[in-house]
Chains A and B, each alone.
Chain A
Amino acid sequence: MGNKQTIFTDEQFEAYQDCTFFTRKEILQLHGRFHELAPHLVPLDYTNQPDIRLPLALIVSMPELKENPFRNRIVEVFSEDGQGNLSFNDFVDMFSALCETAPRELKTIYAFKIYDFNVDNFLCKEDLEKTLNRLTKGELTPEEVNLVCSKAMEEADLDGDSKLSFSDFENMISKAPDFLR
């Protein structure tokens, strides 16, 4: 807005403001970052809502995500097509969910999605193993991984179906002292 070129219309701004936790300025900043990732692909003018998607590799190279062991999963979860290609909407969505004003419930849901590697809405043992291996950079031996996963499953699985449903996860997370604090 303002002296430069118009990036968003007022309506778009209001819509984004209502749908995310961001202010107008922050949305502009986000657009700046999005544009920065691929200046030749992303137009400066977003008033006509171009459907442009950036591939996962580009998004993952952002400093915010670069060091995150779950970066690929995060981007995949927030991408519309599940392949990690993010449109600007998805991009804003991602940062809205990750920003600190987002409520705990929302974060819990997305955390569940992120840890759900095989996208079946349950955290099964393979999911846990993948999570663990990413967290430790694969430095644990397979036996250790196995032990940890079965222990974790034992702890959090309340209905005994040897996979964690969302309610199991929610229950567990709600007691976590470190989640979101």
Chain B
Amino acid sequence: MDIDGELDSGREDEVRWRDRNRKVKLSPRAGGRNGKQATSEEEEEEEDEAQRKRAHKKKAKVQDSEEEDEEEEDEAQRKRAHKKKAKVQDSEEEDEEEEKSIKRKGPKAAGRNKKAVKQVSEEESEEEERGKKRKGRKLTSKNQKEGQNKEKKSDAKGKSDAKGKGVKDKGNEKDKKKKNAKYSSSSSSGESGDEDSLSEGEIAAQKEEVEEKKKLIATLRNKPWRMKRRLKLLKECQAFVEKFEGALGKGKGRKLYAYKVIMAKVMMGLPYGSIPRKTVPRAQQAKAMDYSVLLDFGVRIFGVMPYLSTLLSLLKVQGYCKYSVLFYGYYNDERTIGLLQFRLPLSYLLVGVGIFGYSLMVVIRTMARNSDEGGDGGDDGQFTFTFKMFTSWDYLIGNPETADNKYASITTSFKESIVDEQENQKDENIHLRRFLRVLANLFILCSLGGSGFLIYFVVKRSQDFAKLDQNTLSWYEKNEVEVVMSLLGLVCPPLFETIAELEEYHPRIALKWQLGRIFALFLGNLYTFLFALFDDVNEKLEQEKYIKNATIWGLKEYYANYSTFHNTTDIPPPEIPPADVIRGPCWETDVGIEFVKLTVSDIQVTYLTILIGDFVRAVIVRFLNYCWCWDLEAGFPSYGEFDISGNVLGLIFNQGMIWMGAFYAPGLVGLNVLRLLSSMYYQCWAVMSCNVPHERVFKASKSNNFYMGLLLLVLFLSLLPVVYTIMTLPPSSDCGPFSGRAQMYDVVMETIEKDLPAFIGNIFTYATNPGLIIPAVLLMVLAIYYLNATSKNYQNANLELKRKMQMARDEEKNRRNNKESTNQVMHDLVGLLPNRSLIPPPAEEAPPPDSMSEKGSKFPKVAKRPGAADNVKGVNLQKDVSLAAPNSRAAVTRPPGPRVPPGNARGPPPGPGRGRGRGAPPPKC
């Protein structure tokens, strides 16, 4: 940092330079020149005085400002001195010759100088006078240069706006500084006399410096420096900018500067401020997401059909509710209702099928989005432990309980990784383990089959019960199926878990197996239940046929009797109150009732489990612990754990049940919305009050797509039976919106025929022609094949690119380790060591030999500064150099794998003293 370097030089420097100035001024001059020189001297002194006055004024306000001002002053003087030195060399030359010499310095430098001259000439009146002298020469290029000027200005603005990184800034500054030095020494400044003692090159340099300082001010907050140092630098820079902008820009610059600062603030503020985000990770987020997504999902889908939710007398579904809006049988087959001709049967069918379509779409879209967000995953596994160590704490945590949970979760995740690592290294008796795994799977298959058979048996038995008189049956006999299914769901998962102990899988794989088994259990149960139900339905259909025939026969008899009795053909329909009409069994409603019963019993079992298994247990553990033989909290019963994956699975199955049942019991949807809402608050309370986090949380998958995939599977599986019944089974003849039709989908046909214009019917006929459908299916299969192939190609390309990126990164790493770009950050890091804030970082190492002589004079002098004694400074310098040293080592030519004792080709050995910087600076190369 050269700014500090300049600041270092204190008053003694100033004095020295002044002396030199005097000497220079005393040297003989050409006649016409002398007068000007004298004026320039006066002006200089005037300026000095003015500066001092300014400084004094500032002193009242700010303590340090005097020092800064003088330092800047000193800097300016030093530059002037450079000029004078140049003058000494060619003191005999005439003005015009000097001007020529500017040109001789090279077209570029001259051009820049002239630009600067131009700027000044616009701003300074004195300058204008001088400009008149040289008009003849200058006028030709004046316009051009104006344009160039503006360009340059805008360039500089752009640079300062662009928020560079600290290191780059430094680099630029360094470069610029060197340039400045070159300019100020190379420009021979013939005009210095009549333009406020500033040469063109100087002005250009100063402009640049002002820009630099402005940039520094704008990016100051991004620098990892101590506040004290920042404040000080800020003051210095502001003073500098104020002073020179005032001189060069006459206040215009100040506005510009303010604008720039605001812009910089806006630019810096926006990208970070507008994105809400957390400082550090939340490991629980993924799980929370699972839960909320599903909840949200359930509510969203089933908010589609807002139905009247009837308060159920819970297990007496058979009673009043059977004929309520809850079930299929409530709706009748009137083709159109009301003035608006609402077509109930049609909309019933369309909504029933539409739910599936919509659900499918939502699930698949969510999965696609998740897999998008899941991102590359390319770097996974590269930094497992390091990421966990450095980025797992959430700095926003302020609640002790949350913090405890976070500690526990971090510990768990570390243990997880450790287990992972150990699994990788473990190898044991593979035959024994294989045998055990086969055995375990055998057990599980047995229990799955057993549960399936049990359910089939129970459903069959319940059908037998149903034929008996309802009043003689006990509560258990009426609800056997549901009770058995809930019990199975309660008992089997822990059983599976116990069996899974045999297998000794890695916990994450074990969790997947476990989930898969529970899934199979539930699905198996559901499907056994469904098959048993289908048997039942077929029976009902037979029964219905019988009743229908009987009814028709009865009607016929009635008509025959009526006509013979009254001797008329005008027969009124038989007068029977609707409640007494002989009814068919209406299998749809029965199916709906089964699903509602399942759902309700599921709710009951869940709630009771939470109440007893969690709450009562927690209460007992908590309060009996005072008077018990062993520690209940740490020992056997302990508190219940919140089983995340189990709960998510439960939600998924609940959803599946709703999907299946919604067609036959539309009210189920409303019921489920209520259930989800209440269970959210209930379970939330239970989790917060009586559960402890799972001892070993293994997420089944990093993305949510694992559960979404399960959901999709369940959706598909629950779609199957419903669509099957819609397409094949004839609807009941005397209940429901489709009564009297051969098939449910006849409603659609009917609508097409009666309500739509004929050509649409034609189109449908064509569209349903197998000759069209088969090619369409073929086309789709081909498309799937093609897309699959392309995606595979892309995947391969992706992998290839990733490998290339990795290689490039490694290369860059090697290069970076050898470069000096890390130097600045190292300096900053050193600056953050205690009590170092105001110690200036060392000047650029290895300055070019020509500038060495000038800069050398700066170093020994340390400005008076609070808290930084001279000896400390010496040590620091050494330290900085030694810290920078690793960059001077030779190129790394071998992979970083094997460790060799450091020392060869790696700079100085990292001895104990090196870190602290007490060692001698290593030789520079």
Contacts and interface: CB of A to CB of B under 8 A. Distances in A.
| A and B associate in one complex | yes
A19 B896 contact: no
B268 A103 contact: yes
* Category for how many chain B residues contact A: 35 or more
Given A63-B398, A105-B222, A155-B382, A115 B390 contact: yes
A128 interface: yes
Interface string A109-143: 11111010011111000001001100111011000
Contacts of A63: 398
B817 A159 contact: yes
B397 to A, nearest CB: 5
Contact of B386 (A16, A119, A137, A155): A155
Contacts of A56: none
Nearest to B916: A120
A18 B217 contact: yes
Contacts of A89: 226-228, 231
Interface string B795-823: 00000000000000000010011000010
A80 B834 contact: yes
A45 interface: no
B883 A121 contact: yes
Contacts of B391: 173, 176, 178-179
Contacts of B637: none
Given A15-B231, A148-B418, A181-B278, A158 B410 contact: no
Nearest to B62: A11
Given A105-B165, A121-B829, A152-B389, A144 B418 contact: yes
Nearest to A119: B833
Contacts of B755: none
A101 B277 CA distance: 10
B741 interface: no
B387 A178 contact: yes
Contacts of B835: 80-82
Interface stretch (B15-23, B135-143, B399-407, B465-473): B399-407
B32 to A, nearest CB: 48
Question: Could you say which of A128, A167, A181 has the most chain B C-beta atoms within 10 Å of its C-beta?
Answer: A167
B386 A156 contact: yes
B221 A19 contact: yes
Contacts of B899: 160, 162
Given A148-B389, A166-B822, A176-B391, A158 B833 contact: no
A40 interface: no
Interface in B702-743: none
Contact of A19 (B234, B273, B417, B832): B234
Interface in A150-171: 151-152, 155-163, 165-167, 169, 171
A61 interface: no
B393 interface: yes
Contacts of B223: 106
Nearest to A160: B896
A106 B383 contact: no
Contacts of B829: 109, 112-113, 121, 166
Nearest to B381: A155
Given A67-B397, A166-B829, A175-B383, A19 B227 contact: yes
A101 B269 contact: yes
Interface string A37-76: 0000000000000000000000000011011111000000
Interface string B881-919: 001001000001000111110100010001000011000
A8 interface: no
A140 B916 contact: no
A34 interface: no
B906 A147 contact: no
Given A90-B227, A157-B896, A180-B277, A148 B268 contact: no
Contacts of B411: 135-137, 139-140
Contacts of B166: 105
B255 interface: no
B896 A66 contact: no
A136 B414 contact: yes
A77 to B, nearest CB: 7
Contacts of A93: 226-227, 230
Contacts of B177: none
Nearest to B401: A67
A98 interface: yes
Nearest to B406: A67
B150 to A, nearest CB: 28
A19 B407 contact: no
B398 A167 contact: no
Interface in B109-160: none
Question: Could you say which of B278, B822, B829 has the most chain A C-beta atoms within 10 Å of its C-beta?
Answer: B829
Contacts of A180: 277, 279-280
B278 A121 contact: no
B61 A11 contact: yes
B808 to A, nearest CB: 13
B809 to A, nearest CB: 8
A169 B386 CA distance: 9
B261 interface: yes
A115 B417 CA distance: 21
Interface in B379-430: 379, 382-387, 389-393, 395, 397-400, 402-403, 407, 410-411, 414-415, 417-418, 421
B837 interface: yes
A148 B416 CA distance: 11
Contacts of B397: 67-68
A102 B221 CA distance: 8
A107 B395 CA distance: 12
A167 B227 contact: no
Given A82-B833, A136-B411, A167-B816, A159 B393 contact: no
B224 A110 contact: yes
Nearest to B398: A63
B916 A137 contact: no
A171 B418 CA distance: 24
Contacts of A112: 829
B826 interface: yes
Nearest to A135: B410
B262 to A, nearest CB: 11
Contacts of A110: 224
B277 A100 contact: yes
B789 interface: no
B832 A113 contact: yes
B892 to A, nearest CB: 7
Contacts of A140: 411, 414-415, 418
A101 to B, nearest CB: 5
B828 interface: yes
A68 B407 CA distance: 10
A166 B817 CA distance: 11
Question: Could you say which of A79, A97, A173, A176 has the most chain B C-beta atoms within 10 Å of its C-beta?
Answer: A176
B398 to A, nearest CB: 5
Contacts of B826: 121, 166
A11 B221 CA distance: 16
A94 to B, nearest CB: 9
Contact of B817 (A90, A92, A158): A158
Contacts of A166: 822, 825-826, 829
Given A101-B272, A109-B829, A156-B386, A135 B280 contact: no
Given A69-B393, A107-B279, 20 more contacts: A15-B234, A67-B403, A68-B395, A68-B397, A89-B231, A93-B230, A131-B389, A136-B411, A139-B411, A140-B418, A144-B414, A158-B813, A165-B822, A166-B829, A167-B816, A175-B379, A176-B383, A177-B281, A179-B281, A180-B279
The 7 closest A-B pairs by CB, nearest first: A82-B834, A178-B281, A120-B915, A89-B227, A67-B403, A93-B227, A152-B385
30 contacts: A11-B62, A18-B217, A18-B261, A68-B393, A80-B228, A92-B227, A105-B166, A113-B829, A120-B915, A121-B829, A121-B915, A122-B910, A135-B407, A137-B407, A139-B407, A139-B411, A148-B417, A151-B385, A155-B383, A156-B386, A158-B813, A161-B906, A162-B899, A165-B822, A166-B822, A169-B390, A173-B390, A175-B383, A177-B375, A179-B390
